Chains A and B, each alone.
Chain A
Amino acid sequence: MAMMNFLPVVARELRVSARRPATYRARVWSAAAAISLSLSLAYVGFVQLGTPAQIGKYLLALLAALGFLYAQVAGVWLTADCLSREKREDTIGFLFLTDLSGLDIVIGKLVARSLRPLYSLLATFPAPVFGLFLGGITLADCLRPMLVVVDTLFFSLAAGLLISSLTRNERAAFSGAVLLVLYFDLVGPALAAWAAVRGGPAGSAATAEFLGGLGCSLSPLFLLIAALDPLLGGSAPPAMGEYFWGFFWSVHGMAWAMLIAAGACLPRAWRLHETRGRSGRLRQWLELLTQDVRDAFRGDAQRRRPITSDPALWLAERRQPMSLFALAGLAMVGLAAFVACALIPPPRPAETVTRILIPALWLLHQLLKYEVALHAARPLAEDKRSGALELLLTTPLAEAQIVRGCMLGLKRRFLAPFLVLVVADVLTWIYDWIGTLNSAEAGAAGLVLAGFIIVQLIDLYVLGWWALWQGLSTGNARRALHSAMVTVLAKPWICALFAAGPVVMLTRGALFRGPWADLANPLILVSAFVCVLTGSCARAMGGLQDEFRSKVAEAFTLKPTTPRWFSRELFRRG
């Protein structure tokens, strides 16, 4: 009976996915990206490195790392909101009117959502095999990372489904899924570090080693490291590669456990909002007790200013508190940095402490960017969907005033956190200066720090504009957030990579050797950053200025067709 139920759901979902052109487009684009990346890396490798064996190894490692990242992000992205959305829209109850069980629905969703990323990953797999022809790697070396990537995809899909089965809220679902995957990724390294510190003659060495081993074995990141370890030279004995199959089965088992847990939770959790009684009263009590704290995060105290002073700003400041993801991330990064610093043996060298603090601060800057993008993307997207923007445009408020209010709200909200981070950066630099650096090194480090702070500020500014624009034009906060993060954080690096390729090819690598390399590398990087960020900012600001009203009203008007670069019309003379 279970098979009877399970297969129709899967078959139906697969049929729907098979009809989507995006499924095939994703496959073609990922294969093209993998091939172009392999060829450009091979070319650069021949110019810079020389030995084909080395190139093959680095190519395989790079593609495996990118595939791993893609699997983690895609898995969470595709599944985190799939069940919670059905709960919000109250459609999941209809499924339970049939003979379907929770597990049937969960596996159906898993198969449907995994099709596109799985196709994309399978399409990229021939590219690393190119390394086999270059030599230096065996077939087993080549197959292990592929297995890891597929297993990681399964793991992150299962994590997303588990969180989705427990929540109703979109933001909570995404935050929870990302945190769960990050927890499994980072708990292994943290416990292993603890085990390494506690190891040796200490009394709790055996416990520490056991916990370290347990954490590592459940971490997909460690699984990848174990797969690549024999390839990239191996670590100190016992080599990580020896643990590969143990890690693999642990991660795989954990994914199945999460899937079964999701199936078990779903029939119980979908009516959770109707529950009353002791837990409901307890929640009310907690809400009452934490009212002041939540008000502080919401900025309600600021909102008590009269609406007549600046209505657009008043509206922009009526938003939600900091996301769970940001709060939990803040706590995790802070705690991890504190624990790591505390674990360093007593004469704590400043250099080691700084090495821990700098990545922690960098992570906090990224969290701040995420928060800025989220808070910029939501207001216009939600107001457009609910129709509030149309009502707002019937008032004497001008479009420019609304946009200015949104930006001002963002600045007021995030100026203080940004300044706190800048102060922390500067304090770390001073600590490093006093501890280890001489004045020349400190000057150079100060210049790097100043550049870093300027780049962060520019990133935040462009992120705010782009997320506002995408929120308005798509009407979907999640898509706007995704677009903003990709455009501002990933696109400049991708552009730098694609700009460096032709320059290396045309100059036969001459500009990237010797003294010219110190000039050419930063020049290409800075050009790519300036080019992408100014272009995005100009597009967003122009769009918000010129197309605000038409974007708000596009649900009621005929949408203008965007002219395409390549069409049949191209061959017509004119």
Chain B
Amino acid sequence: MSATPGASPTGPSAAPPLGLPLPGPAADPVRVIRRSLRCFTCGFLGVVPGLGLALALEAINLHRFVARETGETGNPERFHLCFGAGWVILALAGYEFGSFTIFGLLPAFLGWSAWRLWRRYRHATGVVWNPARAHLYAGVAFAYAGFSSLGLLLLMLIRVASRLP
């Protein structure tokens, strides 16, 4: 992703060529840091399965906003949607081939997601320095843990319900 125009730490960028849209607003470092810390808090509370779902979603949203504002490389929406799509595929596979498929594939999927998150934390670079970047990604990791725990809880419920008369 290209850097946000006007968000460079060395000062505002050059005026855009004619015909292109106007540059976006400059990143506000205070807002970026506060949002990153809030992402951590929301993600941490979002670990509680079910009850923390809205907070986990808020953490993901905050990560998107911060990533866009700081001009991080990569596409944050695509990153999160891949995680969601993975869960949907896993659920469909479990529905079709039995829940043992899910329990077999789940560690691999969670490991792959954790590796993607780590790689993004290490390599996605932004043009605005964010001292709370570690908190931001920790919040996302917690939010993912919350989604996964909710998924596992639902799977267990389905297993229990299938044995009911």
Q: Are A574 and B78 in contact (CB under 8 A)?
A: yes
Is the CB of B76 closer than 8 A to any CB of chain A? Answer: yes
Is the CB of A236 closer than 8 A to any CB of chain B? Answer: no
Chain A neighbourhood of B139, CB < 8 A: none
Q: Are B50 and A531 in contact (CB under 8 A)?
A: yes
Give the size range of A's interface with the partner. Answer: 35 or more
- Please measure, in the bound complex, the distance between the C-alpha atom of A531 and the C-alpha atom of B56, giving whole angstroms: 10
Mask of A533-549 contacts with B, CB within 8 angstroms, 1/0: 01110110010011100
Mask of A481-519 contacts with B, CB within 8 angstroms, 1/0: 000000000000000000000010011101101101000
Q: How far is the CB of B70 from chain A (nearest CB, A)?
A: 12
Q: List residues 49-69 of chain B with CB under 8 A from any CB of chain A.
A: 50-55, 57-58, 64-65, 68-69
Q: Are B77 and A565 in contact (CB under 8 A)?
A: yes
Q: Are A534 and B51 in contact (CB under 8 A)?
A: yes
Chain B neighbourhood of A545, CB < 8 A: 34
Q: How far is the CB of B31 from chain A (nearest CB, A)?
A: 6
Binds B, one of A113-121, A296-304, A448-456, A552-560: A552-560
A506 with B158: in contact, given A536-B54, A563-B76 (CB under 8 Å)?
yes
Q: Are A570 and B77 in contact (CB under 8 A)?
A: yes
By DSSP majority rule, is chain B's interface helix, strand, loop, or mixed? Answer: helix
Chain A neighbourhood of B38, CB < 8 A: 538, 542, 546
Is the CB of B134 closer than 8 A to any CB of chain A? Answer: no
Which among A516, A539, A570 is the interface contact of B81 at CB below 8 angstroms? Answer: A570
- Please measure, in the bound complex, the distance between the C-alpha atom of A558 and the C-alpha atom of B27, giving whole angstroms: 11
A546 with B35: in contact, given A531-B52, A534-B54, A535-B54 (CB under 8 Å)?
yes
Residues on B lying within 8 angstroms of A by beta carbon are 1, 22-25, 28, 31, 34-35, 38, 42, 45, 50-55, 57-58, 64-65, 68-69, 73-78, 81, 95, 154, 157-158, 161-162, 164-165
Q: Are A565 and B81 in contact (CB under 8 A)?
A: yes
Residues on A lying within 8 angstroms of B by beta carbon are 503, 506-508, 510-511, 513-514, 516, 527, 530-532, 534-536, 538-539, 542, 545-547, 550, 557-561, 563-567, 569-570, 572, 574
Q: Are A507 and B158 in contact (CB under 8 A)?
A: yes
Q: Are B162 and A574 in contact (CB under 8 A)?
A: no
- Please measure, in the bound complex, the distance between the C-alpha atom of A570 and the C-alpha atom of B57, giving whole angstroms: 19
A574 with B57: in contact, given A546-B38, A558-B25 (CB under 8 Å)?
no
Chain A neighbourhood of B81, CB < 8 A: 565, 570
- Please measure, in the bound complex, the distance between the C-alpha atom of A559 and the C-alpha atom of B25, giving whole angstroms: 7
Chain B: which residue is nearest A567 at the CB level?
A: B77
